[in-house]
Structure 1
Amino acid sequence: MHDLSRQRCFNHAWREAVAQCLECHRYYCRECATEHEDRMICAPCLAKITGKKKKRKARLASLSRTVLWCSSFLIIWIFFYLLGRGLIALPSSFHEGNIWRQSYWSELFDS
């Protein structure tokens, strides 16, 4: 490792370097270097690292939205399918309106 007191900032040549980036191994001044997860890193390297994490989160969010949409669609489809099957299973007299007449009930229970 070079003597840090002799190094100059990569972005600001007139400033003395105070840290070396652990990713790109360049020297930076106080303004350019930052601490991330207990290590010194420069702003461009930090942007690369956090950009990868954001892309991964965006992909995961997109996948979860797609799965949620598909499962919701499937649940709604099954609900209406079962509702339709239940309506089809009703007797035809219910559809014709004869079930509510008094004569239907008397025929049903007198038999």
Structure 2
Amino acid sequence: MPLTLQKCSVHADRKAVARCPGCANYFCGECVTEHAGKFLCSSCLQRQSAPVQTTPRATGWFTAVIGLSIGLSAAWLFFYLIGRLLILIPPNLHDISYLGSFR
């Protein structure tokens, strides 16, 4: 049956203007809300926007410790290699005798 002949599922005296894709019922303009490009009824909107219950993983602390260890090791290695590179610079490169009287 076409949408123009349908009635609202909540208000029987009103014409339907949209069909909820979640529950496939027809609703008037006051009963639907646009969300993410779709017209949803209030019950489907509540169901869709309800927070998903997640259980914390038992290994969460372990992965955090491993990640911290890897990060600190990478930072130490970076600064160690920079230090080794600075040691390789010849000492005469630091000679500032060309500045003369600025000392």
Q: Distance in 2 between matches of 1:15 and 1:44?
A: 19
SS of the aligned residue for 1:44 comes to: helix
How many pairs align? 65
The alignment yields a C-alpha RMSD, in angstroms, of: 2.7
Q: Tell me how far apart the structure 2 counterparts of residues 44 and 9 of structure 1 sit (CA, whole Å).
A: 15
Q: How does 1:46-57 map to 2 (within 5 A)?
A: 46-51=45-50, 54-56=51-53
The answer for the alignment partner of 2:18 in structure 1 is 19
Q: After TM superposition, give the deviation of residue 14 of structure 1 in Å.
A: 0.5
Identity %: 35
Show CA shifts across 1:58-93 (max 9, x none): x36xx38xx57xx7xxxxxxxxxxxxxxxxxxxxxx
Please, what TM-score do these two structures have when normalized by structure 1? Answer: 0.48
Question: Computing the radius of gyration over CA atoms, which structure comes out larger, 1 or 2?
Answer: 1
- Give the 3-state SS of the residue equivalent to 2:4 in structure 1: helix
The unaligned stretches of length 5 or more in structure 2 are: 65-103
Taking structure 2 as the reference length, the TM-score comes to: 0.52
Q: Which has the higher helix share?
A: 1
Long gaps (5+) in structure 1: 72-111
Query: 4+ runs of 1 displaced by more than 4 Å?
Result: none
**2:90 alignment counterpart:** none
